């Protein structure tokens, strides 16, 4: 007769054995190969990311059901993706980490189902979702089942968009249709040497188009952090990628109903800084807007988004008196701070993200306008430029604008002004606010007079001066109520913090609609 207690012990031993077997992933040799390439295994990434002892795995025993092409003999531990939840700096986060040691982390039907369950679980609980992408792509042996699983995944993350923050970590290859998954999330952090992403790999590109190109050139960080603007943050390696993800999460609320996490600050909210000295004497001479940002935010700390792409516009997160705030700023050192197609797209998406998650926005202006010329016109600058206008007008979060120098033409409202929705607009005495610069205006309005004058240069100079005095200075805009106050640059931090204080409870009611038909 078998003792029931012995049966129970046998069952527990079997459970322990099964769990340990799956936890070995692709085995010691495969994990060692990861280490040789400077990469962590999927479970090591999870251990590093979560607070010690807080991770709970979901779906450990999930297995594929494919029998074709020898798959009935193929074991794929945890179906090539580890899913679960835990705490990161004390806050709940859900993760899906692809395991390259398990059949190259290929995406099959149940691999996809696990991903979908993790995203839906995050949405249901109101917790951020982080995807750690490291996969050889679609599991071709599963055919239509793998194909359909992509659709489930895409739909699940789209329906979770705007409800919980979604961050993709590109820590290995991510090629083919699967690459849509990370770019459809809110932010993508790519490791510099091991993260690759593309709609097709080099071999497939050569087969289909005849083009010969390396994986690094086609799908590496230069392709996406600099050219395409699909990588928001660049990381040196796995540890740096995970650290940057933790830092990004620290600025974000857990969901769209929570407030952004405010911390206890130790930086005087009304601290004065000598900012005027940062500006050159001539209004068209460039200066570095990063220096202004560092002077006015808490402890000079700025977490930049898309820092290598469309560098004429700066976007990122900082804190004012402990509050997370999104910053959108012109960069006069790059293309004179003009707004081109890429800058408009970059700014608009960042504004919309901040609005979705109740993060106030502060802008710093010094832009002569939208970039003109045939290349921009034919590329759709009007359509792309309008995205910024949609984003600002739709936004319901606190909106604060600071005009440092030029705020001309379309850039005046593209960088946020009163008419498009700003709650507060502050201007430095150096601000120039009008439809075009005095030189341009005078050459149009007084063209005939200048042309026919005995001394054209004298007339031109006189008319430029008259137009500048009449329209360019910030006091004319302040007289009309388009600027709330002309401030000493040293008081910029104080003005922003006081504005944020009074806008704390901002509430906007709009007529019902599904959403605005933004130009895409």
Residues with catalytic function: 176-177, 410-411
Q: How far apart are CA 250 and CA 233, in angstroms?
A: 15
Helices (H), 210-268: 215-219, 221, 238-251
3-state secondary structure of 416: coil
Q: How far apart are CA 88 and CA 85, in angstroms?
A: 10
β strands within 321-461, DSSP E: 323-330, 361-367, 399-408, 424-427, 432-434
Q: How far apart are CA 186 and CA 76, in angstroms?
A: 30
Geometric angle at alpha carbon 379, from 440 and 177, rounded to 5°: 150
Query: Which stretch of DSSP H or E encloses residue 130?
Result: strand 129-133
The residues near 379 (Cβ < 8 Å, ≥ 6 apart) are 341
3-state secondary structure of 429: coil
Return the closest-CA partner of residue 192 out of 247, 134, 241. Answer: 241
Burial class of residue 477, CB neighbours in 10 A (0-12, 13-18, 19+): buried
Polymer length of the chain: 520
3-state helix, strand, coil in the chain (%, to 5): 45, 20, 35
For every residue of 461-492, DSSP letters joined together read HHHHHHHIIIIISHHHHHHTTSSSEE--GGGH
Q: Are 205 and 218 in contact (CB under 8 A)?
A: yes
Q: How far apart are CA 506 and CA 110, in angstroms?
A: 44
Count other C-beta atoms under 10 Å from residue 208's C-beta. 9
Q: What is the DSSP letter of 78?
A: G
């Amino acid at each position: 007769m078998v003792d029931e207690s012995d049966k129970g012990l046998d069952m527990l031993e079997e459970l322990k054995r099964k769990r340990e077997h799956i936890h070995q992933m692709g085995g010691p040799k495969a994990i060692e190969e990861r280490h040789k390439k400077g990469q962590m295994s999927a479970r090591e990434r999870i251990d590093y990311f979560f607070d010690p002892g807080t991770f709970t795995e979901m779906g450990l025993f999930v297995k594929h059901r494919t029998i074709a092409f020898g798959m009935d003999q193929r074991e794929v531990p945890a179906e090539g993706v580890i899913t679960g939840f835990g705490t990161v700096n004390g806050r709940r986060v859900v993760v899906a980490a692809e395991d390259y040691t398990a059949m190259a982390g290929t995406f099959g039907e149940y691999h996809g189902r696990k991903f979908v369950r993790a995203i839906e679980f995050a949405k249901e609980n109101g917790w951020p979702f982080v995807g750690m992408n490291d996969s050889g792509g679609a599991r071709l042996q599963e055919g239509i089942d793998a194909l359909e699983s992509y659709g489930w995944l895409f739909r699940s993350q789209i329906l979770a968009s705007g409800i919980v923050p979604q961050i993709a970590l590109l820590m290995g290859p991510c090629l083919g249709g699967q690459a849509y998954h990370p770019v459809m999330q809110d932010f993508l952090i790519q490791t510099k040497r091991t993260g690759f992403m593309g709609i097709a790999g080099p071999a497939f590109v050569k087969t289909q188009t005849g083009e010969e190109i390396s994986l690094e050139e086609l799908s590496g960080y230069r392709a996406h952090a600099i050219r395409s603007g699909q990588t928001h943050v660049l990381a040196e390696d796995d540890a740096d990628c995970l650290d940057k993800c933790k830092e990004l999460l620290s600025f974000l609320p857990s969901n769209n109903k929570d407030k952004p996490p405010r911390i206890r600050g130790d930086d005087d909210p009304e601290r004065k800084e000598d900012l005027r000295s940062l500006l050159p004497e001539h209004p068209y001479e460039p200066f570095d807007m990063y220096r202004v940002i560092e002077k006015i935010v808490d402890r000079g700390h700025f977490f930049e988004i898309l820092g290598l792409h469309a560098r004429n516009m700066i976007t990122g997160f900082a804190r004012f008196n402990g509050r997370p705030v999104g910053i959108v700023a012109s960069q006069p050192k790059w293309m004179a701070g003009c707004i081109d197609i890429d800058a408009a797209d970059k700014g608009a998406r960042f504004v919309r993200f901040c609005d979705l998650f109740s993060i106030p926005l502060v802008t710093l202006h010094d832009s002569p306008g939208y970039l003109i010329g045939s290349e921009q016109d034919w590329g759709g600058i009007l359509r792309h430029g309008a995205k910024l206008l949609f984003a600002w007008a739709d936004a319901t979060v606190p909106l604060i604008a600071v005009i440092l120098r030029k705020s001309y033409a379309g850039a005046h409202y593209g960088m946020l002004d009163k008419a498009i929705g700003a709650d507060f607009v502050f201007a430095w005495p150096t601000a120039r606010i009008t439809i075009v610069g005095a030189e341009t205006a005078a050459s149009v309005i007084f063209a005939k007079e200048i042309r026919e004058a005995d001394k054209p240069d004298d007339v031109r100079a006189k008319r430029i001066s008259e137009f500048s005095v009449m329209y360019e200075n910030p006091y004319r805009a302040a007289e009309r109520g388009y600027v709330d106050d002309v401030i000493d640059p040293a008081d910029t931090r104080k003005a922003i913090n006081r504005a944020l204080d009074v806008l704390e409870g901002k509430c906007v009611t709009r007529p019902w609609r599904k959403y605005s038909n933004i130009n895409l």
